Structure 1
């Protein structure tokens, strides 16, 4: 048996969960097709998913197609849950991108297809809902070619589209127009086919064209398009044949070194963590001691349970080999994105833009702050991009968000799973800071008003946009013990989370220019005297003061997230829309008329996207279509926004020293 790890992706409401149900029914896994509206689907297992009729968490279900076991991963379609899709991309062998025959190519469809093409994931396109009124099979095919990828090929035609009796008829080798189009498309990537096509000495055998179609689909060069209906089953058999014939099975050496990645983490009834792992190489067996994690979080634990996916169910297993997906238990502390076995340095952390919004979570009643933080920490295990931000000064916690729907889901999840009621403060935009120039500062041990037994000097230099932060040494590595060196570096990275205006500082190089310490001192009776000896705490406490002084001398500029937008609306309504865009600080380009429709593209601050979405229906009589996605960060014009600090505020030395020395005197390490 071969294994194919297949992702089902789509814009929300295109019908991918219904397609998953139909595929399971076609494979004989389920006897009755579940309904999204009724909350009876196999993969939408969360109560909240059933109530809302949307997919929130990715789910794995397995079925057989001939000699291939398909691990099908159903992913969320709503853009607020793009992080779930992101985690799945790293484990896919192929994908089916679902497009509605009624709504056509939508905003999230374009985002997903761009990413699938960039990652070269073999992808079939399924145009769903051909039985619905308003279905436009020909127009949607043209839109797919124009907006998603030109390398598309219809694998069949639709008869009686837009009616309950819509039928999908696959093309065969007898369809001359189809074989001509197939040969033309494949010749773009194959010189032999190109020569035969140009010379036209003899028609290429259809089986040869199908073999080359499978090869080029497997290399993500072309994208076959199937039509059908997940509700009636029309066209689904042809799609299943395409999945079996055109998408490549998993590769990997089961006898090689163990290497895999975690794309989902759940908690069991007893609170134990269960990790969903895709194996790329090697074999993991029950009771193996398995290393996992990255860098300083590298750990090792015994595998106490293995669940494999088989014919729609998870079954207990004793081993999982290369190419397969399994649930592993016993790996306490494991996180989403962790490698198991040998880490794969080629896998990047991010495909999509990070969240650009945040909001403070307020418990109701206010007394439950401890329980709230524990519950949010559990949610962050399943979605690390929630990115909890604890404010110990104001006793508040905030979360990062992609949108308002995600906020509602977090609120409902806290109520349903943890019994905690919450409200949210107003959603704000997450900005960042970049240094303007070079700044340096240092403090010498036992000089001036430095109360710490440490010498630290740091220089901040700007780095290219998008390069992130790096740390370097201009002192000898052996000039201090490694524990003190590590304390400085770790504290630099922590301190950069809040810059001059309270935003995370990025795209800079921090260099350690001065270092010094007092060696361990003892009295005559050999007891350690902390007042005469430098400790890691001295360096953790001094480093924020020095770094913020250097950063203040360098200066920083606050950058806000900017979205690229595309607005399609009736041409006569452009006039009323332009003032609204100006009020939202959008920068539109030149309008492009297309008959009675006008297309407007430009940039808009992330803070204005939600407002535009709310105003658009009334401004355009419900005919406006908005697509938007993160594009870049740009400098804030005017007074930069400040973010409340959550640390001891090293920008204000006197208050910082009071808080720090008070904590040290009380016997607590504030770090």
Structure 2
């Protein structure tokens, strides 16, 4: 038997979950198709998902067809939960991208396809809802080729489009028009195939077309497009053939070699214990086996831990769990790994980590419990939520007994879901402060500071540390280097300085994270045997912030690149509102009766503009935004309340460090 791991991705309401239900029903896994409206689907098992009718957490189900086991990951479609999609992409062999035949290509669809092409993940496009009034086929295919991929290969046609009797009809290479289209698409990437099609060599048989299509689909060079309807059960058989025949497969017999598995999801058991979802890329994982755990850090290195898997359950036939050894290609639920985190890799550090695919959250809010004295319970509950979604990025004020907590967000819907989750699962009622934008700081000059051991006066830190800060390359983050010999300090002291540098720069002169900065260790020294690593960790923040104050920093706010399509008669009103919001339009292109406006828009006004757009455009405006980067804040620099021991104020820092406050 072979295994293929696929993801179902789409813009919200395109029909991902309905398609999953239909695939399970067609494979004989379930005997009744669940409904999103009724809240009885296989993958939306969370109470909040059933109430809201949207997918919030990724869910895994499995089915087998024709000797191929398909592990299917149903991911959220709402942009507020894009982090769930990102974690799923790292464990997939291929993707089914769902597009609604009525709404067509939407903002999230474009973002997802750009990411999939960047990753070179094989993609099958399924155009759903061909039985709905307003469904399109030829026009939509042209939109897919223009906005998603020019390498779209039409695999089926539609009869009685937009009616309850709509049917998808598979195309065959025995049809001359399809053979010609397919040969032209495949010939773009395979000169030998094109030559044979033009008569230079043996004549092409139907099997040659099929083999070339599978090869190029797996190489992400072409993207087959299937039309159908999950609700009306048409086009599903052709899609299943595409999943089992065109996407990469792994033989279950190839489980030899060392263990390598990726943790992509964490959930809590009834007793609060962590349960890890692991995709096995190689080797096997047995119950009660001792495994090494490799964890990436923010500096590009990795940490190795050990744990013991007390139980291993493989997902099989729907959401059922089978206790057995997991092999390559399997997705397993693993218990017993107490400190496990999302992104950890079991067995091997090969291919550990990887780039962040989507923009980080650009919003944050402070969260408080309404009940007096419930702050500790709230903090523990938020830690559990952070296990499931690390990008909420908890920040805790260390200077308050109540420990004020702030968290990062993608949008207001995510805030509502967190509030409801805390109420239902932890019996906590919470309130949020107003959402604000997350800014960053960059150094604008060069600064240098040093503090040395002075035996003639009272010494608080038995350490000598000198640091120089200066602007780094754009996009470089924090770069730490040494201008002293590596042997001038014990390794633990060097490590203490570097870790303190990264921790301190989470809050700059204005309270925001400092990025694109080069920090150089210029002086070092210690007094044996008195000095300890703690001396260097405690002294480094003071020296670093002294140097940063000399250099100065500039606060930058996040900006989004936008594409806005609006009717021509309303374009002036839309442009005026964009100007009021601080946008920078870069191009305005006529498209028949509409205009396409492109440019940059501050992230802080995106939500406000989205709310005003329907009124400005008579409900016909379409806005697509994506994170673009940062630009300097116009006007006074916004500040953020510090949550650390405040190394900007030497007196306060020393009092807090030595427990006087």
Identify if the C-alpha distance between structure 1 residues 211 and 321 changes in structure 2 by more than 3 Å, giving closer, same or farther: same
Determine if the alignment matches structure 1 residue 616 to structure 2 residue 613.
yes
Q: Summarize deviations over 1:179-229 as a string: whole Å, max 9, x none.
A: 100000000011112223445898632221111001100101000000000
Match of 2:480 in 1: 471
Aligned partners of 1:484, 1:33: CA distance in 2, in Å?
61
Match of 1:603 in 2: 600
**Equivalent residues in 2 for 1:129-528 (5 A)?**
129-199=129-199, 204-250=204-250, 253-294=254-295, 297-345=303-351, 347-394=353-400, 395-446=403-454, 451-520=460-529
Q: Secondary structure at the match of 1:232?
A: coil
Aligned partners of 1:621, 1:538: CA distance in 2, in Å?
64
Aligned partners of 1:380, 1:466: CA distance in 2, in Å?
26
Aligned partners of 2:535, 2:305: CA distance in 1, in Å?
28
Shift of 1:462: 2.2
**Equivalent residues in 2 for 1:26-105 (5 A)?**
26-105=26-105
Match of 1:530 in 2: none
Aligned partners of 1:338, 1:304: CA distance in 2, in Å?
17
Identify if the C-alpha distance between structure 1 residues 662 and 620 changes in structure 2 by more than 3 Å, giving closer, same or farther: same
Shift of 1:623: 0.9
Shift of 1:450: 6.1
* TM value normalised by structure 1: 0.94
Q: Secondary structure at the match of 2:492?
A: helix
Aligned partners of 1:627, 1:356: CA distance in 2, in Å?
16
Match of 2:578 in 1: 581
Kept in 2: contact 1:12–1:77 (CA 8 A) = yes
Aligned partners of 1:507, 1:138: CA distance in 2, in Å?
47
Match of 2:627 in 1: 630
Aligned partners of 1:353, 1:3: CA distance in 2, in Å?
31
Q: Secondary structure at the match of 1:337?
A: coil
Aligned partners of 2:506, 2:37: CA distance in 1, in Å?
43
Moved more, 307-316 or 62-71: 307-316
Identify if the C-alpha distance between structure 1 residues 221 and 341 changes in structure 2 by more than 3 Å, giving closer, same or farther: same
Q: Secondary structure at the match of 1:321?
A: coil
Q: Summarize deviations over 1:303-331 as a string: whole Å, max 9, x none.
A: 11011111113323231111211111111
Q: Secondary structure at the match of 2:280?
A: strand
Q: Summarize deviations over 1:226-264 as a string: whole Å, max 9, x none.
A: 000011111111111111111110368422111111000
Aligned partners of 1:48, 1:599: CA distance in 2, in Å?
37
Q: Secondary structure at the match of 2:511?
A: coil
Aligned partners of 1:518, 1:390: CA distance in 2, in Å?
35
Aligned partners of 1:110, 1:250: CA distance in 2, in Å?
29
Q: Summarize deviations over 1:268-311 as a string: whole Å, max 9, x none.
A: 11111111111111111111100113266521111110111111
Shift of 1:366: 4.0
Q: Secondary structure at the match of 2:434?
A: coil
Shift of 1:535: 2.9
Shift of 1:452: 2.2
Moved more, 59-68 or 590-599: 590-599
Moved more, 380-389 or 202-211: 202-211
Kept in 2: contact 1:411–1:422 (CA 8 A) = yes
Determine if the alignment matches structure 1 residue 562 to structure 2 residue 562.
no
Q: Unmatched 5+ residue regions in structure 2?
A: 296-300
Q: Secondary structure at the match of 1:283?
A: coil
Aligned partners of 1:56, 1:382: CA distance in 2, in Å?
11
Aligned partners of 1:603, 1:379: CA distance in 2, in Å?
33
Kept in 1: contact 2:345–2:352 (CA 8 A) = no
Moved more, 476-485 or 493-502: 476-485
Aligned partners of 1:251, 1:432: CA distance in 2, in Å?
47
Moved more, 633-642 or 249-258: 249-258
Q: Secondary structure at the match of 1:239?
A: helix
Match of 1:523 in 2: none
Kept in 2: contact 1:153–1:182 (CA 8 A) = yes
Match of 2:298 in 1: none
Shift of 1:518: 2.2
* TM value normalised by structure 2: 0.96
Moved more, 343-352 or 28-37: 343-352
Aligned partners of 1:428, 1:127: CA distance in 2, in Å?
37
Shift of 1:482: 2.9
Q: Secondary structure at the match of 2:320?
A: strand
Aligned partners of 1:343, 1:537: CA distance in 2, in Å?
30
Count residues with an aligned counterpart. Answer: 652
Q: Secondary structure at the match of 1:231?
A: coil
Shift of 1:371: 0.8
Aligned partners of 2:306, 2:202: CA distance in 1, in Å?
62
Q: Pairwise CA RMSD of aligned residues?
A: 1.7
Match of 2:589 in 1: 592
Q: Secondary structure at the match of 1:589?
A: strand
Q: Summarize deviations over 1:565-604 as a string: whole Å, max 9, x none.
A: 1111111111211221112111112321112111111110
Shift of 1:638: 2.4
Q: Unmatched 5+ residue regions in structure 1?
A: 521-532, 667-671
Aligned partners of 2:189, 2:302: CA distance in 1, in Å?
45
Aligned partners of 1:216, 1:571: CA distance in 2, in Å?
41
Aligned partners of 1:52, 1:128: CA distance in 2, in Å?
21
Q: Secondary structure at the match of 1:313?
A: coil
Kept in 1: contact 2:230–2:236 (CA 8 A) = yes
Aligned partners of 1:169, 1:286: CA distance in 2, in Å?
47
Shift of 1:108: 0.5
Kept in 2: contact 1:293–1:335 (CA 8 A) = no
Kept in 2: contact 1:99–1:128 (CA 8 A) = yes
Aligned partners of 1:581, 1:137: CA distance in 2, in Å?
34
Q: Secondary structure at the match of 1:284?
A: coil
